[in-house]
Amino acid sequence: MNALSIQQRNYLDMLAVLTDINTEFDVNQQVGKDLAYLSEKINGFKILVPVIGKFSSGKSTLLKSYLSIDLLKEDITPETAFATELHYSEQERMVVHYLDGSEPKVFTVEDFKTLQGNDNLYFVQLYLNNTKLKRHQRLVLVDMPGFDSKNSAHHKAIACYLNRGDVFINLLPAGIPFDSSIMDQMAEIKLGFNKDIKCFVSKSARLTETKLQESIGELEQTLSGTLGAPTKVGHLESLDKTRTNLGGFETELTLIETRHEELLDNRYGLEIDKLIGKLTAELTNLKTYSQSNQGELEQQKQDANNSFRDARTQLERSLNELKYSLCSQGKEQLIQQVHMALNGALMQLTNAAKSDNLNSCINQILRPVVQSGLTMLVDKEVAKLESSLAQISVSDFQGPQISIALNTEQKEKMKALGGVIITQLANFILTKTGPIGMTIAAIIRVIWNIFGNKQPSEADKQEQVTEQVKNSVIPDVASHAVQYITQELEKVANQLEAQITASFSEEQQAHDQKIQQFQRQLDEDKASFDQLKTGYERGLVQLAALATRLKDAQTIGTTASSTATMMAGDPA
């Protein structure tokens, strides 16, 4: 099977035409970089399917049984777990990604057996020459750490894949109590981040058929109420090799794979449309210049300088608003969210302090609250910035149309920002020698002194511990956590400002050089200068045709995806 879908080939063909137009008419170097980045992303696009569940719910056992491999780790502790992506490739290898942004490192697949998790390990990609992975080349299965709030592994993985994951598969082991941690996690994925979840009862061979169907019915009712929509639950067995049943899992993967075109459209269709628009604006400017004489070109050069000056003023205002919203208003919002979350869990924190589990409890409470708040904040401000840049691009300046926009790479980095910051925050909270860890350690010593004192009653001791948590732990944790997040947001905002400003300056310089080139060409070879208009008109006709083709491709892709989904049926 060809790994590239019809829509991928359509999009890559369109990007190739756009690249040819951009190169032939020497339109815009930054657009050339954007086209190359988008081509790489579309060429490698796959649906990410994290397999989630509580620790020891059978995730690794399922994947080992399904893929017929003996590589994934089942006996590791929650503290050493990490997310592992399973890709198909004829060239087997392991790629390790790091939280600090350093270059990923390539190892052999055999090295995976001895790989240990650590604070800086973000996630691992295993490329395997495997029959089942080859059958579903448009999917990437992800073996996730189990739900276990006492360590950073799960929080690191879920923070990463809430953004990167497309469809989640959740295993609910038969006979194990269905606790609130599962419901909270599923609600966060579905309601907080609008990602689909497919549920299966795992280790189902331990139940009779009657009991299994009763359990499935109860789960469907509970999940439908929690997630606000009808939720089907399938079942599978991978632990008992004499009763292995993975048919529903295989069918679900096939069904998920039918959404490839739809998810590809959602992620990159609009980006292609924006690049067509940018090239159209640039080529229209060039066509205007090609119809001018020397006097008009000189006037257009002055008008362009005035236009870029006015646009720069608006751009600086928009970037300042972004920084203020992220780092000032956003900080105040996060402070309120953190205080509300911690104060709302005062009794839970008090009990955790008494059992010397305060760091983990704080992390458990803060991770989803802060990630949700941070994601909403970043998404909102990126959307506002894009709107402001679009407004600048359609402003009625005296000179040429100026097109400014966030490129795809910048937006994807901003989208991933929340997950990276939250993962780093989890390490920040859980590290015993960090600012939060040292504060908590000091409070724990005070608490143990309280409990070591035989004079107060148990009720008085409980009250004193609660007061310590309320008046010392919560304010200090909130202060350090928000300060850390704000520092990271400031770094990112400053980097984004520098990138956009540099790109704008490069575009202004290139525009000025282009007019000078027209002036020289008009002086040296008027005949060839007069031919430029014809070329630009041809390019604009190609761009208009591409815009129509893109709309048609998106319509066809959506229809094909819906049809394939209906034909695949209900795997449960």
pLDDT of residue 346: 93
Q: Any residues with CB less than 8 A from the CB of 5 and at least 6 apart, and which?
A: 138, 260, 261, 264
pLDDT of residue 572: 46
pLDDT of residue 568: 47
pLDDT of residue 371: 87
- Pairing state between β 233-235 and 84-88: unpaired
Looking at residue 16, the DSSP 8-state letter turns out to be H
pLDDT in tens, 258-298: 999 999 999 999 999 999 999 998 999 999 999 999 999 99
Crossing angle (nearest 10°) for helices 270-290 and 294-324: 150
Residues lower than pLDDT 70 in the chain: 1-2, 73-80, 148-153, 177-178, 239-242, 394-399, 430-441, 443-458, 556-572
pLDDT of residue 99: 84
Q: How far apart are CA 572 and CA 569, in angstroms?
A: 9
Helix %, strand %, coil % of the chain (to 5): 70, 10, 20
pLDDT in tens, 389-443: 888 876 666 667 787 888 888 888 888 887 888 877 877 776 655 666 666 667 6
Q: With beta carbons less than 8 A apart as the criterion, state whether 193 and 158 touch.
A: no
Q: With beta carbons less than 8 A apart as the criterion, state whether 168 and 195 touch.
A: yes
pLDDT of residue 119: 78
What residue type is 476 in one-letter code?
D
- Pairing state between β 167-173 and 139-143: unpaired
Per-position b or e across 8-36, b if 16+ CB within 10 A of its CB: bebbeebbebbbebbeebebbebbeebbe
